[in-house]
Amino acid sequence: GNSVTQMEGPVTLSEEAFLTINCTYTATGYPSLFWYVQYPGEGLQLLLKATKADDKGSNKGFEATYRKETTSFHLEKGSVQVSDSAVYFCALNYGGATNKLIFGTGTLLAVQP
């Protein structure tokens, strides 16, 4: 079946450190891949997405590349800020309908000044 696995948190980094949050997926066909972010007290927001193999999604300094050969969509940022502290969810969409999202468990990122 379809599933998403992401690294467990919490991930604690110092400001300006390099961030990687791993995400791998299992899916039939060719899903679209997403990263959502949830800041404290707010709803999930779409951070970036990629719809086909080798696509790179990017936003707010974050990047993730759709790697079909390794079934991965790792989230990276070169220099994190305290304001990046949030929970990050990797997700895939199957069936061609945006409502059928399968999420990972979420990874809490805490950035210390």
Partner 1 sequence: GAVVSQHPSRVICKSGTSVKIECRSLDFQATTMFWYRQFPKQSLMLMATSNEGSKATYEQGVEKDKFLINHASLTLSTLTVTSAHPEDSSFYICSARGARGTSANTGELFFGEGSRLTVL
Site for partner 1 in 58-87 (CB under 8 A): none
Residues facing residue 24 across a β-bridge: 5, 72
Residues that bind partner 1 (rule: CB under 8 A) add up to a total of 20
Interface with partner 1 includes 45 (CB under 8 A)? yes
Contact 89, 35 (CB under 8 A): yes
Q: Which of 1, 28, 29, 42 binds partner 1 (CB under 8 A)?
A: 42
DSSP string, 12-41: EEETT--EEE-EEEE-SS--EEEEEEE-TT
Interface with partner 1 includes 27 (CB under 8 A)? no
Which residues of the chain form contacts with partner 1 (CB under 8 A)?
Answer: 4, 8, 36, 38, 41-46, 89, 98-106
